[in-house]
Amino acid sequence: MAKEFFVKSNVVFGKNAAKALPEILKEYEANNVMVVYDAGVKMAGISEKVLAEIKKADVNVTIFDGVIPNPTNEVVEEAASIALQNKIDVFVAVGGGSSIDLTKAVNILMTNPGPIGQYGGIGLVKKGVLPLIAVPTTAGTSSEVTNVVALTDIKAVCKYVIIDNKLVPDKVIADPEFTKTMPAGVTAATGMDAITHAVESYISNMATPLTQYHSIKGLQIFHENLPKAVADGSNMDARENMMLGCIIAGFGFSNANLGLVHGIAHTLSAHFHLAHGMANATVLPYVMEYNADTCPEKMIELAKAIQLPVSGNPEEDKYSLSKELLRLTKELKIKTLSEQGIKEEDFDMIANDVLKEPVLNFNPKQGVTKDDVLAILKKAL
């Protein structure tokens, strides 16, 4: 049966990539540009560099620097109101997944009516959106090349996603130098986010040979380069490879979708405000162990792809990947659930909400039960 593989973004990759911004804005005949970023991007001096290039295009610039981790509906509505008042015609999102996702969501409301929460789901955005240029400063979320927006509904206490091909950024300015200022902990968490994307999309029940090609290549790149980048943030070869791997993995998971790891991570972030990458990394080894019985061949393929030793006994080798992921999380000092303030008495509530996550539909092992989730959480405690 025929399968669709959707790729949209035009990527400018490498050092000084931001210098392409003035010509891109002129190409769009931009008049009013909104630049979106958070306090961290400003403190690192990255926003200043991006704004300097944008101003060369002789456009009106509106700044929204109120991005928060796990952006909420309320922040989206606030930014959209400012964008509408200033008649924004092009967006530039500078930062990690939170900044880029928030900008994608604001872009929806430029041409579609609010509130933003009504677009949760797949393919619910009716009208096309405005040009969006993504300038990633982390290597992990792949939001710069995907059709996904992750938002937090603080009233319903849940994290939800909007998935629509209209939302993929039109242009990507990918300069590895912009990731150089990431602290080791953020580098580790966002890198494990990318590994999660690669692994979950490879074993997804929506995976195709084309998505799996990108997923496995992304895993290989991150497995080799993430420890190097965490150990030495100034290692620009590792930084560049991570940014490349993030884009490659993004092409895979935006077409194949994700699974139970993200279902648990969404719930942890909604209730306890955990950083998305950290939430993924904490439970990733245990979910892969849980899924191994359903897709042993794929687990062994992934293990071989990163040159893990295999015995030739499938019953043993199907767990090679989950064991390596556990080793890697310990090497990178990924915090356990208890170290992040989560207690066992929280598990019942967490498990109930995880079972409501639509992303479970793409997990290779179907029929996930509450007891299954509780067992995974106990291992991650």
Tokens linked to 147: 């059709």
Mean pLDDT is lowest, of 1-5, 15-19, 57-61, 328-332, for 1-5
pLDDT band at 3 (very low <50, low <70, confident <90, very high): confident
Q: How far is CA 165 from CA 6, 102, 126, 145, in A?
A: 8, 16, 11, 10
- Is the pLDDT confidence value at 211 over 90? yes
Confidence of residue 9 (pLDDT cuts 50, 70, 90): confident
Confidence class of residue 7 from pLDDT cuts 50, 70 and 90?
confident
pLDDT per residue as tens digits for the range 41-91: 999 999 999 999 999 999 999 999 999 999 999 999 999 999 999 999 999
User: What is the value of pTM for the model shown?
Assistant: 0.95
Domain 184-380 listed as CATH 3.30.300.30 = no
pLDDT digits (tens, 9 = 90+) for 330-339: 999 999 999 9
DSSP 283: H
Q: Domain 10-179 - what CATH class?
A: alpha beta
330-342 per-residue burial string, b: 16 or more CB within 10 A, e: under 16:
eebebbebeebeb
**Rounded average pLDDT over 296-300:** 98
Q: What is the pLDDT of residues 223-280, one digit of tens each?
A: 999 999 999 999 999 999 999 999 999 999 999 999 999 999 999 999 999 999 999 9
pLDDT value, residue 8: 87
Domain regions of the chain by residue span: 10-179, 184-380
In this prediction, residue 328 carries a pLDDT of: 98
Write the burial class of residue 20 (CB in 10 Å: 0-12 exposed, 13-18 middle, 19+ buried): middle
Quick check: 2 pLDDT over 90?
no
- Give, in degrees to the nearest 5, the angle at Cα 314 between 281 and 359: 35
